[in-house]
Structure 1
Amino acid sequence: MGELQTLDLLVILVYLVGIIIYGISKSKRSSSEDYFLGGRTMTWPIVGIALFSANISSSTLVGLASDAFQTDVSVYNYEWYAVIILIFFSIFFLPFYLKSGVYTMPEFLERRYDSRSRYYFSFITVVGNVLVDTAAGLYVGKIVLTLLFPQLDSTLILVLLAVAAAAYTIPGGLNSVIQTEVIQAVLLIIGSCLLTYFAFDRMGGGWSAMMENLDAMLANGDVNFDKKIEAGQYIPQTSDDVFSLVRPSNDKIPGWSLLTGIPLLGFYFWANNQFMVQRVLGAKDLNHGRWGALFAGLLKLPVIFIMVVPGVLALILFNTLDISSLNYELTDGSICDDLSDCPNLTYPVLLFKLLPTGVLGLVVAGLMAAMMSSVSATFNSASTLVTMDFVKQLKPSLTSKQLVRSGQITTLILVVLAILWVPFIETVSDSLWEYLQTVIAYTCPPAVSTFLLGLFWKRANGTGSIVSLLIGFGLAIFTILSQIFGWIEPINAIHFLAKASWLFVICVVIHVVVSLATAPSPAEKVAEYTYRKTLFTEETEELKSLPWYKNYRYLAVILLIITAIIVGSFW
Structure 2
Amino acid sequence: MNTLSSIDYVIFVLYFIMVASYGYYVYRKRKTQEHDSKAFFLAEGSLTWWAIGASLIASNISAEQFIGMSGEGFFVGTAVAAYEWIAAIALIIIAIWFMPVYLKNHIYTMPQFLKTRYNDTVALIMAIFWLFLYILVNLTSILYLGATAITGLVGDATAGTPEFQNILHLIMIGLAVFALVITLGGMKVIGYTDVIQVAVLIIGGLATTYLALTVVAENFGLGKSALAGFKALMNDSPEHFKMILPKPASTTSTINDAHNLDIQKYVVLPGIAMYFAGQWIVNLNYWGCNQYITQRALGADLKTARTGLIFAGMLKLMMPVIVMLPGIAAYVLHKHNALPNFNGVKDGAYSAVLGFLPTGLKGLSIAALTAAIVASLAGKLNSISTIFTLDIYKKYFGKEADEKKLVIFGRYTVLAAIILAILFTWNDLLGIGGEGGFTFIQKYTGFISPGVFAMFLLGMFWKRTTGTAAIVGVVLGFVLAIFFNNYAVGLFGKDTLMYTAYTYQKMEKGQLLTITEIPFLINMGWSFVITVAAMVGISLAGPKVNPKAFIHDKSMLKLEPRTIALIVITLMLLTALYVKFW
Where on the TM-score scale, by shorter chain, does this alignment land: which range?
Answer: 0.7 to 0.9
SS at match of 2:269: coil
C-alpha contact 1:382 1:411 (8 A) present in aligned 2: yes
User: 2:112 aligned with 1:107, yes or no?
Assistant: yes
C-alpha contact 1:74 1:253 (8 A) present in aligned 2: no
Which residue is 1:515 aligned to? Answer: 539
* Aligned-pair CA distance for 1:307: 2.3
2:316 to 287, 293, 300: 300
Query: Which amino acid is the alignment partner of residue 286 of structure 2?
Result: F
In 2, the alpha carbon distance for the partners of 1:234 and 1:9 equals: 41
Which residue is 2:420 aligned to? Answer: 417
Which residue is 1:185 aligned to? Answer: 198
1:45-65 Cα offsets, whole Å, 9 max, x none, are 111111111111122111221
In structure 1, the gaps of 5 or more residues are 220-224, 237-246, 326-337
In 2, the alpha carbon distance for the partners of 1:502 and 1:232 equals: 25
In 2, the alpha carbon distance for the partners of 1:456 and 1:68 equals: 37
User: 2:368 aligned with 1:351, yes or no?
Assistant: no
C-alpha contact 2:485 2:517 (8 A) present in aligned 1: no
1:495-548 Cα offsets, whole Å, 9 max, x none, are 11111011111211221122223456643x2252xx5xxx43x346x65xx5x2
1:112-132 Cα offsets, whole Å, 9 max, x none, are 111111111111111111123
Query: Which amino acid is the alignment partner of residue 284 of structure 2?
Result: F
1:396-433 Cα offsets, whole Å, 9 max, x none, are 21101111111111111100111122213435744211
Which residue is 1:334 aligned to? Answer: none
Moved more, 385-394 or 11-20: 11-20
1:499 to 502, 519, 523: 523
Which residue is 2:62 aligned to? Answer: 57
Task: From the superposition, tell whether residues 358 and 527 of structure 1 become closer, same or farther in structure 2 (CA, over 3 Å).
Answer: closer
C-alpha contact 1:113 1:465 (8 A) present in aligned 2: yes
* Aligned-pair CA distance for 1:2: 4.3
Query: Which amino acid is the alignment partner of residue 136 of structure 1?
Result: S
Task: From the superposition, tell whether residues 19 and 263 of structure 1 become closer, same or farther in structure 2 (CA, over 3 Å).
Answer: same
C-alpha contact 2:233 2:328 (8 A) present in aligned 1: no
User: 2:216 aligned with 1:203, yes or no?
Assistant: yes
* Aligned-pair CA distance for 1:553: 3.2
1:39-97 Cα offsets, whole Å, 9 max, x none, are 32111111111111111112211122111111332000111101111111111110111
Which residue is 2:410 aligned to? Answer: 407
Moved more, 432-441 or 468-477: 468-477
Q: Give the alignment of 1:545-556 within 5 angstroms.
A: 548-549=561-562, 552-556=563-567
Count residues in correspondence. Answer: 525
User: 2:453 aligned with 1:448, yes or no?
Assistant: yes
* Aligned-pair CA distance for 1:317: 2.1
In 2, the alpha carbon distance for the partners of 1:252 and 1:228 equals: 21
Which residue is 1:365 aligned to? Answer: 367
User: 2:304 aligned with 1:276, yes or no?
Assistant: no
Which residue is 1:243 aligned to? Answer: none
Query: Which amino acid is the alignment partner of residue 494 of structure 1?
Result: I
Which residue is 2:176 aligned to? Answer: 162
C-alpha contact 2:484 2:518 (8 A) present in aligned 1: no
Query: Which amino acid is the alignment partner of residue 194 of structure 1?
Result: A
In 1, the alpha carbon distance for the partners of 2:422 and 2:194 equals: 22
In 1, the alpha carbon distance for the partners of 2:173 and 2:106 equals: 36
State the percentage of identical aligned residues. Answer: 31
In 2, the alpha carbon distance for the partners of 1:488 and 1:402 equals: 54
C-alpha contact 1:36 1:103 (8 A) present in aligned 2: no
C-alpha contact 2:11 2:363 (8 A) present in aligned 1: yes
| TM, length-normalised to structure 1 | 0.85
Q: Give the alignment of 1:74-113 within 5 angstroms.
A: 74-113=79-118
Which residue is 1:234 aligned to? Answer: 262
Moved more, 508-517 or 187-196: 508-517
Moved more, 115-124 or 208-217: 208-217
In 1, the alpha carbon distance for the partners of 2:100 and 2:256 equals: 44
1:288-334 Cα offsets, whole Å, 9 max, x none, are 10000000000011123232122111122234659896xxxxxxxxx
In 1, the alpha carbon distance for the partners of 2:196 and 2:353 equals: 23
* Aligned-pair CA distance for 1:374: 0.4
| CA RMSD between the two structures | 2.8
Query: Which amino acid is the alignment partner of residue 254 of structure 1?
Result: G
In 1, the alpha carbon distance for the partners of 2:191 and 2:255 equals: 40
In 2, the alpha carbon distance for the partners of 1:402 and 1:231 equals: 59
C-alpha contact 2:268 2:520 (8 A) present in aligned 1: no
In structure 2, the gaps of 5 or more residues are 158-162, 218-224, 240-252, 495-500, 502-515
Which residue is 2:390 aligned to? Answer: 388
In 1, the alpha carbon distance for the partners of 2:196 and 2:318 equals: 19
Which residue is 1:258 aligned to? Answer: 275
Task: From the superposition, tell whether residues 356 and 39 of structure 1 become closer, same or farther in structure 2 (CA, over 3 Å).
Answer: same
Task: From the superposition, tell whether residues 467 and 231 of structure 1 become closer, same or farther in structure 2 (CA, over 3 Å).
Answer: farther
Which residue is 2:245 aligned to? Answer: none
In 1, the alpha carbon distance for the partners of 2:256 and 2:69 equals: 17
Which residue is 1:26 aligned to? Answer: 26
1:439 to 428, 433, 444: 444
In 1, the alpha carbon distance for the partners of 2:57 and 2:172 equals: 24
* Aligned-pair CA distance for 1:488: 8.0
Moved more, 462-471 or 422-431: 422-431
Query: Which amino acid is the alignment partner of residue 367 of structure 2?
Result: A
C-alpha contact 1:48 1:296 (8 A) present in aligned 2: yes
User: 2:119 aligned with 1:131, yes or no?
Assistant: no
SS at match of 2:447: helix
In 1, the alpha carbon distance for the partners of 2:418 and 2:215 equals: 40
In 1, the alpha carbon distance for the partners of 2:334 and 2:491 equals: 39
